[in-house]
Structure 1
Amino acid sequence: MNIDRPRGSRSATIATQTVALVVTAVLCAFLFGLLGRRSWVLDLFAHFRVQYAAILCICGLALMMLRHFRSAAAVLTAAGLIAASIVGYTGWPSQEAQAASGGFRFVTFNRYYHNDRIAEVGAWLQESRADVVVLQELDSMLIVQKLAAVLPDYPHWHAGLNAESDVAIFSRWPIRSADLIELSPGGAQVTKAVIDWNGEPITLIGVHLHWPLGPEVTRLRNSELHELGVLARATPGPLLIGGDFNITPWSPVFREALVDSGLSDCAHGQGLVTSWPSILGPVGIRIDHCLASDHWRVMNLSAGPALGSDHLAMINDLELKR
């Protein structure tokens, strides 16, 4: 990137060069992310679009302080274009809504394997008044049974635990049927349950897809996303898919899979919501998603607490279109 001719002291020159280097790195990273479909390494760059916009804003302000006004304007324009693409998808933040009468509250939460705060998790889920909860990273039936003991309002549950599945579905409503479905050979298996919600059959699918670290596991993750879309299109009636997808909405792989599935991202238009890592709060990224069939209208989406996990719980309030 060309920066206006440095002015002032040596320290100002060094500061200008440092800012120029950061701006160049951020712009390259953003462009790499747009090519994420071509390589698993490039796709990793796609997930930090919000952070890129924030860093460019800081760099633009720094250039203004260094009196490089033309360069500052160019950098702030680039930041504004990236920010516009973010707001175009997320919309403006919405106010947290309460579960309304006739509404459906769907909560997902990645427990984290080493999290032993079971009573705290159960207490919060009880207070959340969710209709259905999808939990991930449940490594044994003993953990599931401990959770069931602290979730008296969720007497109906199904957990298909094995080497490729760590997901359980807890429901206030009777479960009509439940299955464990392999998405792709050697890939993650998803937990599917059909509940009876006021006489209406609702299909819930809980997922925990592979980490995209390395070409083989990324291929598995992408195949899992594709097969989720195939499963969604073959599922009649109201459908919700939720859990840890290990991919952000900024990835071209996610956007392509979403279009192919015919589902909608519940977070679309609901403001900027992040889920991981929980320690970073709003500075993090969102890899926990809720996907809905066109039977649903999303009323609100918000993040819950961490409850000892590296993920934040995700709260999705929806209603059926009549």
Structure 2
Amino acid sequence: MHAPVDPPTPRTSIGLRLRTWLVRLAVLGLAIAGLVLLLPKLAGHWPYLGLAALIHVPAMWLGLASTLVLLARRVRRAQFSPSRVGLSGVGLLGIALVLVLTLQPVTRIPAPCPSDAPRLTLAWLNARHTQRPQLIRRWLQRARPDVIGLAEMPPWRRGLTEYLDRHYAFMQNCQPKGQCSTRLYTQIPPAETLGLARGDAEQRRTLSGAGLVFPASSGTRDWSIAAVHLSRPTSPQAQARELREFEARMGADADTLILGDFNLSPRLPVLQDFVARNGLTITRADQPTWPLELGERRLKGLWQIDHLLTGRHWRVESFKTSPWLGSDHRGFIAKVCRVD
């Protein structure tokens, strides 16, 4: 005869239910993570699927935590014997490894420049809705950049425009002729100025971008810099079209620098495709650049959408985002050098 089995105590029953629910949540978490990682791969069929990349990083952490929970359960049921973990355990280990690799940044951190390398200081800011132009002016006065890129720059901001006109002899906006709120200012005489818009950039009907080309110095090639402001994050088709317009009207190579509000986080397919086509690198920011405001509430930001893209003949030595300057974006000051 078999000895009678004692019924589970209430404490045991509660613990069993909790473990069951934990496993179910882990399976659900892993499924959600897999879906978030898969959707951007399908953006070629429907561009809006690429927006899932906005939550890639939290989804990958969720997937990794879920995988470790399932792996721990598998090991426990195998009585802590690695030889009895089985194929499912090996599969879970493989998933964990893939998630760890996928978590690796797609941006490049600043690195020291050679002591004798030519250097530049760059500034960028989307000045949308700012009512505090004096904050921007003071920020620029402290940094003293060689080139400044601005988006949504209202022409009536007296004090700021006067400062820029007085200290930066050369300016190009996104229009070949006329005015546009995306601008480049520089103290360095350019060899060529490029208004990249072909139509009404303020109404999102064309690329809002300006370019400057500078003559080669001793032992180097001509180099160029552009400022761009792409359509809103919910417009991936328009963003892709505008980047194609940029490539057709100016283009990027190893000697190119691009400042801009791309309205794209680094992992979004539209930006990843662009940098891959042109051999560019995205610089990692030390803080998210947007949004800093939600109505009257001040935020820390969620995503890096304001970027410095560099060709391979440039190295970013430092990249420092700005404090709040009255806009819902952070700006940045970057120090770069030529390494060709």
Counterpart position of 2:5: none
| Counterpart contact for 1:266–1:301, Cα < 8 Å | no
Instruction: Report the Cα distance in structure 2 between the residues aligned to 1:154 and 1:76, rounded to whole angstroms.
Output: 57
- Rounded to whole Å, the distance in 2 between the matches of 1:275 and 1:135 is 14
How many angstroms does 1:32 deviate by?
0.6
Matched, 1:105 2:124: no
Deviation (angstroms), 1:22: 2.8
Structure 1: distance between partners of 2:329 and 2:34: 28
Report how far residue 190 of structure 1 moved. Answer: 1.4
- Of 281, 292, 299, the residue aligned with 1:265 is 281
Q: 2:333 corresponds to which residue? A: 315
Between the aligned partners of 2:179 and 2:70, the Cα distance in structure 1 is 50
Residue by residue over 1:226-271, the C-alpha shift from the partner in whole angstroms, topping out at 9 and shown as x without a partner, is 22223344x79943221011223323332322233x341242xx68
2:309 aligned with 1:291: yes
Conservation of the 8 A alpha-carbon contact between 2:191 and 2:215: yes
Distance in 2, matches of 1:169 and 1:131, equals: 11
2:269 corresponds in structure 1 to: 252
Residue 309 of structure 1 aligns to a residue whose secondary structure is coil
Post-superposition offset of 1:136: 1.0
C-alpha distance in structure 1 between counterparts of 2:116 and 2:150, whole Å:
23
Task: Say whether residues 1:147 and 2:154 are aligned partners.
Answer: no
1:92-241 alignment runs, 5 A limit: 93-94=109-110, 102-111=118-127, 113-138=128-153, 140-143=154-157, 145-151=158-164, 153-160=167-174, 165-175=180-190, 177-182=192-197, 186-194=205-213, 202-213=223-234, 217-233=235-251, 238-241=255-258
Q: CA RMSD in A?
A: 4.0
Whether the 8 Å CA contact 1:19–1:63 is kept in 2: the answer is yes
Partner of residue 80, structure 2 = none
Tell me whether 1:51 sits opposite 2:58 in the alignment.
yes
Q: CA deviation at 1:24?
A: 1.5
- Deviation, 1:124, is 1.3
Moved more, 70-79 or 126-135: 70-79
- Distance verdict in 2 for CA 1:274–1:46, change over 3 Å: same
TM normalised by structure 1 equals 0.74
Q: Which amino acid in the other structure matches residue 142 of structure 1?
A: W
CA distance in 2, matches of 1:58, 1:183: 49
Deviations 1:128-171 (A, max 9, x none): 23211111122x3113x432334554343334579995212122
3-state SS of 1:33 partner: helix
CA shift for structure 1 position 88:
6.3
Residues 1:55 and 1:303: Cα distance change in structure 2 (over 3 Å) = farther
* Local SS of the residue matching 2:328: coil
Report if the CA contact (8 A) 2:321-2:332 is conserved. Answer: yes
Match of 1:25 in 2: 32
Larger radius of gyration: 2
Q: Which runs of 5+ in 2 are unaligned?
A: 1-12, 76-84, 293-298
Check the 8 A contact 1:132/1:172 in 2, yes or no.
yes
Instruction: Give the count of matched residue pairs.
Output: 302
- Percent identity, aligned pairs only, is 20
Aligned to 1:36, which of 43, 58, 63? 43
What displacement does 1:225 show? 1.2
